[in-house]
Chain A
Amino acid sequence: MSNMTLLGLASVQLCDAAQSALAKYTVDSRGVRVWRERKSAEMRDLLALEQLAPRLSVQQVDMKTDLRVVLGLLMPVPCRFGSGDLVVCEEAVVGINYAQQSMLRALPGTSFAQLLWPLGVFHPSVKSGPVQAVCLGITMPPGIRLIEIVLMLYRAVVLQEHNFDERDHAGVFNVEAARWWQKNTHRIPLTTETFFDPSRMAAADDHA
């Protein structure tokens, strides 16, 4: 029986291209040993997730100090341009900044992820304007894993998990969007698809 949790990623065998990519990314990784090892482990898991999830592509990686990645994600993203109708784009480019202090500190949910493209995202947890930071919750626990951030981001953007309540003590990032979505709950979620098909992990386990 395969381990269907994210812990099972450790048993996924990276393909040759992914292993070469990992080696290339870690060459210039700086910092104390524990942090360098952590960055390598997080990157390895991300590359394993990329192998399992066709909707994910790792486009850019910078491991010099913080671990910064640019990801392509095939997922529905709600947008609105001006006062027009809602438009659902089918893909996004996401930037995630995974800092060393995330190993130790409980950080704000806005610390990690940003939608770089498309612009005009209309979502209660995404800041409006050109800097589209994503709020993933009140607090992100210390030691949260990069792949957990990716999965939380997916579930948040496609509205499988959501917070519309502007009276919530943490607030919402886009009040106008929160109010709009409160009146349009029939459109939620944008997709019921999971981030990846768990049977692919089972298949990977069988190959390992």
Chain B
Amino acid sequence: MATGGLKPDRGPALRLPQFVGGPGDPCAALAEAEVILVGLGSVGCAAAQHLARAGIGCLQLVDRGSTKQASLYTHPITAAEIGMPKAELARTLVIGINPAARVAAYQDAFQNLPIDELRGTVLLLAVDNLETELAVTEYCISRGIILIQASVHGGTMIAQLRILTGGKAGEGPCLACRYNQTEWQQVASEAQYSCDGSSLEPSQPVPTRSTSSLCSLAGELAVHKIIRHLLGLGRPLADELLEYRGYTDELVTTKLRRNRQCPVDHRRWHTVDGQGAATLAEVLRRCGADAAATVSVDGKKFLDKAACSSGHWTSVARFAALGDAAGTCPECQQPLQPSPFHSIDRVPVDAFGTRVDHPLTALGIDAGGALVVHCADGRTTRVTTPLPAPAVTGGCRT
């Protein structure tokens, strides 16, 4: 077949076909694509390989774990790679296949990442941890990012994809829409904290029990969907569950619908450029918010009051992260301790009073920090200072 506009010496162009009904230069389209891959285990690592071979231009790889002996039987690794961080392993794999790819690898839980550094139009999720699922589903639904979750059930030879497009105006389902009591109990069992509020080391996840071929199939089906979406091939992605049933060789598709009682906020966020905004008043003006709005900052709580060890209570009135100093007591100069009852996630704008005209930093809002404005009319606006796209990395971020 003719290769059309493809340059035969350009990496994947050596093998990519001219797709019927597809763009003239699929290589260029895939090279411009940005995909986030969360979970680099049996399914995710296989997917990473295929995304690299397809020539995806920007990949962000996220996994906090390392390979183990058992990984040898489901991951595309050799014995020499046992014990390696999965994110680093996948990065090396991708760069080895496609040196031109821009790859950022994060050896950490998704929930701990600098979220605004991530960029992508599609996110492939391949984890077996519901807490991460929740964080990812909130991230995708709020930003209008297509989420494809790939998983397997080895005992019944089922490879499964959940495709969530977000729907129009945030009407689409999320992963939590299907959760029942069992799933919510599992979320609880996955999160454990010590008395100081810090997370305890999570219990070792149960390794996937499946054939490597089934894991690979799930990853490959997901990559196939991503490539089709990026090149506009065939039927557009829809909110659905796709199952390959290995015992009967059936491929079954089921529509997914939104659960109206789902506690996840399904509204899509707007984004406003916060660069140059010096005060909260300026930010609110850019967001079109009024006094009935509320504001929050990712990863921080608003400290209304704090107390020193001498028992003096002081108004703090700014945002602070867990563990950050709350300041010093004006009376005795002792450090102030934040008070959980006086620390709130969201603050009504009218509670700031004249402080809306104070510098943002005086309110504990850093430039580039994720300030979110929740308007009374239902709009949620994320105020960001744009960050540069990740370049090719020389290592793995931990």
The reply to whether the CB of A54 lies closer than 8 angstroms to some CB of chain B is no
- CB pair B345–A101 under 8 Å, yes or no, is yes
- Would A138 and B344 be within 8 Å (CB), given that A32-B267, A104-B263, A170-B195 are in contact? no
List B residues 261-287 near A (Cβ within 8 Å): 261-265, 267
What are the residues of chain A within 8 A of B138 when measuring CB–CB? 104
B249 at the interface (CB under 8 A from A): no
Task: Give Cα A172 to B194, complex, Å.
Answer: 8
B200:A169 contact, CB within 8 angstroms:
yes
Q: A97-B344, A99-B345, A103-B263 are in contact. Are A139 and B311 (CB under 8 A)?
A: no
**Contacting pair A100 B192 (CB below 8 A):** no
Given contacts A101-B345, A105-B134, contact A171 B194 (CB under 8 A): yes
Q: In this assembly, does A116 line the interface, its C-beta being within 8 Å of a C-beta of chain B?
A: yes
Q: Which of B134, B294, B346 is A104 in contact with, Cβ under 8 Å? A: B134
Q: A64-B348, A105-B134, A110-B195 given as contacts; is B311 within 8 A of A97 (CB)?
A: no
**Contact partner, A108, options B197, B308, B347, Cβ 8 Å:** B197
Which of A128-136, A148-156, A181-189 interfaces with chain B? Answer: A128-136
Contact of B200 among A113, A119, A131, A138 (CB under 8 A): A138
Beta-carbon contact of B341 and A129 below 8 Å:
no
User: How many residues on B have C-beta within 8 angstroms of the other chain's C-beta atoms?
Assistant: 49
Give the distance to chain B from A79, nearest Cβ to Cβ, in Å.
Answer: 14
A34 within 8 A of B: yes
Stretch at the interface among B37-45, B61-69, B181-189: B181-189
Taking CB atoms, residues of chain B closer than 8 Å to A100 are: 345-346
Q: Does any Cβ of A come within 8 Å of B232's Cβ?
A: no
A-chain residues with CB within 8 Å of residue B312 when the two chains form the complex: 130
Complex interface bits, A120-142 against B, C-beta within 8 A gives 1, otherwise 0: 00000101011101010011111
Residues of B at the A interface (CB closer than 8 Å) are 131, 134, 138, 176, 184-185, 187-197, 200, 261-265, 267, 292, 294, 306-313, 337-348, 374, 376, 378
